[in-house]
Chains A and B, each alone.
Chain A
Amino acid sequence: MSHHDPTATAAPAPDPTRDPAQDPARDLVARDLVMTYGRSGRSSAAGPPALGGVDVTVRAGESVAVMGPSGSGKTTLLHVLAGILRPTGGQVLWRGRDIARMSDRERTVLRRRDFGFVFQQGMLLPELPAIENVALPLMLDGVSRSEASGRAAALFAPLGLAGLEKRRPGELSGGQAQRVAIARALVARPGVVFADEPTGALDQTTSAEVMQHLTRLAAHTGASLVVVTHDENVARWCHGVLRVRDGRIATGTVAAQASPGSAR
């Protein structure tokens, strides 16, 4: 992870974990991102921009925590990087293409095939058993039901969910539901997983379990990970931390590859 921002208080650190064999085209690169909400948004156009010229690079297989106070722009940054919001200015490059210039349809397909999402509450569909919740993204992308179910089932044991395949979300604990959500985010083998406060509704012990599973499985599948969080303990599981303040990167650090998980 690296960033360049004139207001950043820390210089971008070299990434010692970079594997030279990795393909730079799999990096997610944001350049000079500006995001200003219109009058229909949450703030008036006259107000300060939610993002004021942010540069970020998330390298393939790297995990990054985005931290900052409420209203600092961290969720906006995640939404822009994930192609959910179209930035007012700047570029978001993914595999050689600028996401910001893609049509709505193209960004929908991109989110389905290349990105995975984990939300604070899991957002699992209550009427589907756990395994069908996980298989759903693949089926939505046209994968046959038997193949989708097989690929989904393969994720249950590594996540400690064996035997819970037929349970409904309402029959799972918070931590179990969040691990099902992690399986759903990773089942399509995305290039990047975006997690918005993935442990916000969990206690510290369960939170650590969930982060362990999330970082380990993302690394195993080669996916990059962008985690928005308020929790320093959660951030310690990531390779690096970006601190956002008033729509700008305040500081950025890169942890050693070996250090994620030290929060345990």
Chain B
Amino acid sequence: MRAATVLWWRLRRAGAADNRVPGVLAVVSFAVATAALLVCVAGLAAFEARNPTPPGGLDGPLTDEAALGNLYVTLAWVATTCMVIPILTLGGVAARLAIARRDQRLAALRLAGATSGQVTLMTLAEAAAQALVGALCGLVLYLAVLPLVARLSFQGRPFELRELVLPLGQVLAVVAAVVVVSVLSGASSLARVAISPLGVAARTSPKRLSVLRLLVAVAAGAAWVLVITPMKEPQRMTIVVVLGAVILAVNAVGPWVVMVAGRIAARLAPTAATLLAARRIADDPKSTWRAVGALGLAVAVVGFTSLAQVDEPRTPLEAYLADDLGTGALVTLVIITIVGATSTGVVQAARVLDQREQYRALALAGTSEGSLHRARALEVALPLAMTVVLSAGFVLVLMLPFTNAIDTALVVRFVVTSVVAGAVVLASVLASRSLVRAASRVA
């Protein structure tokens, strides 16, 4: 083990320059994920502290004020549930990045006599170390943005900083959760990559995702309709659990839809850039979905929340509800957009690093840098447009029958914010333009 550790350290140092960019990207991803998670948990804690459960619990008759407070906490839980899954997905993306491009080093370790277990342990330790560094950076980022979050006003008053500062125990729990997610995602990635002494397997035709994924989505949708809809006043935790299940189901079916769309687009692609983009989408629909799925879901949830018409207010606190729904929806969308943009940017950068040689070969053969950029932009734009348009369309189709109750200004705001969020995620592709330029430099 000692010899393998020494070799691992030497190989790590020897490959430091090559691994610097992926390492930095992984740490940035872990930092953004941690900061977003801390902000979500802090916001949820602040709403719970502002609206304590009445002494008699939530089951008995509630005053109007207590019922409204309960609604705020429930909505905070819904928003947090929507945000936590993409945040954890970003953690998974970062972990894969921490594991990726280790192929040669892992193979060298195996050739030197390290067992599969030793190699796995060392690799996961490295991923955990990067996650810890990223999580600590995320903690600093969280503290830095708190004054900004504190300017948000809910229930007629802005947050106070002390409302948003989490106790040390919860902060440590979030940091630990990020590290655990990195280790679990890393272990799952390693399990898929056969680390043989002769390196990893070559790329073959991608496995088709099973159509059974559709059944999962149908089952989750049915659960929502059968469990939540009949309930007059569903329990908060019931809503959160079923909503979480629905989100997971959407995440299961999303890659399948993306794969089918990618295959159709590849068959019909008229230009080289579209063909490249469509093949890449169909080749790795899961990573494409990771980049765009959260935003699609956010657009749907935010649409329903922000377009919902509130009854005529009877109390001063009720008067704040409509505005607060809009603000809460916007905050959710902003956080998911930042997380989605980071995820997209990191996945795209990692892909360029993975395919440096192919980019150079294309450039040598006379492919212009513009064509390479167009292909990458399309690779994100096609599924992003499809997801956002489908989500926004879904919301509008369901809500438009109630046109009388809908404020046109709210619809316009919803559409504009959805488009802006999509544009921000798309713009994250620009972050890796310099990597493309470097990879395709011929001289």
Contacts and interface: CB of A to CB of B under 8 A. Distances in A.
Contacts of B282: 127
B357 A123 contact: yes
A111 B366 contact: yes
Given A108-B366, A112-B365, 4 more contacts: A84-B364, A125-B362, A145-B275, A184-B365
A139 B358 CA distance: 17
A117 B442 CA distance: 13
B276 A128 contact: yes
Contacts of A85: 442-443
Nearest to A171: B204
Interface of B: 201-205, 269-272, 275-276, 279-280, 282-283, 355, 357-358, 360-368, 371, 442-443
Given A117-B365, A128-B276, A168 B358 contact: no
Contacts of A252: none
Nearest to B360: A123
A110 B366 CA distance: 7
A144 interface: yes
12 contacts: A82-B364, A105-B368, A108-B366, A108-B368, A112-B367, A116-B365, A117-B361, A123-B358, A125-B355, A145-B275, A168-B203, A170-B204
Nearest to B366: A112
A144 B279 contact: no
B185 to A, nearest CB: 23
B202 A140 contact: no
Contact of B275 (A115, A116, A132, A168): A132
Interface string A171-202: 10000000000001100000000000000000
A61 interface: no
A109 interface: yes
Contact of B365 (A111, A127, A169, A170): A111
B280 A137 contact: no
A185 B365 CA distance: 8
A139 B274 CA distance: 10
Interface in A107-161: 108-113, 115-117, 119, 121, 123-128, 132, 136-137, 139-141, 144-145
B71 to A, nearest CB: 48
A185 B280 CA distance: 22
Interface centre among B272, B364, B366 (most CB of A within 10 A): B366
B272 A140 contact: yes
Contacts of B202: 169-170
Nearest to A196: B364
A3 interface: no
Contact of A140 (B270, B361, B366, B442): B366
A113 B366 CA distance: 8
Contacts of A121: 357
Contacts of A139: 271-272, 275
A137 B365 contact: yes
> 3 tightest CB-CB pairs across the interface, nearest first?
A112-B366, A123-B361, A111-B366
Given A123-B357, A123-B358, A168 B204 contact: yes
B279 A132 contact: yes
Interface of A: 79, 82, 84-86, 105, 108-113, 115-117, 119, 121, 123-128, 132, 136-137, 139-141, 144-145, 167-171, 184-185
A106 to B, nearest CB: 11
A104 to B, nearest CB: 9
Contacts of B360: 123
Nearest to B357: A123
Contact of B443 (A84, A116, A185): A84
Nearest to A167: B205
B268 to A, nearest CB: 9
Contacts of A113: 366
B205 A168 contact: yes
Contacts of B363: 108
A85 B364 CA distance: 10
A126 B371 contact: no
A85 B361 CA distance: 14
B43 to A, nearest CB: 40
B366 A145 contact: no
A127 B364 contact: no
A100 to B, nearest CB: 12
A145 B270 contact: yes
B364 A117 contact: yes
Contacts of B364: 82, 84, 111, 117, 119
Given A111-B366, A117-B365, A170-B204, A140 B371 contact: yes
A140 B279 contact: no
A125 to B, nearest CB: 5
Contacts of B443: 79, 84-86
Contacts of B358: 123-126
A231 B357 CA distance: 24
Contacts of B279: 125, 127-128, 132
B357 A127 contact: no
B354 to A, nearest CB: 9
Contacts of B367: 108, 112, 140
A84 B361 CA distance: 11
Contacts of A111: 364-366
Interface centre among B282, B365, B368 (most CB of A within 10 A): B365
Contacts of A140: 272, 366-367, 371
Given A139-B271, A145-B269, A145-B270, A126 B203 contact: yes
A115 B201 CA distance: 33
A125 B203 CA distance: 10
A47 B167 CA distance: 63
A140 B366 CA distance: 9
A105 B367 CA distance: 10
Interface centre among A84, A108, A127, A144 (most CB of B within 10 A): A127
B436 to A, nearest CB: 14
A207 to B, nearest CB: 20
A115 B366 contact: yes
Contacts of A123: 357-358, 360-361
Given A86-B443, A113-B366, A139-B275, A127 B270 contact: no
A145 B357 CA distance: 25
B271 A169 contact: no
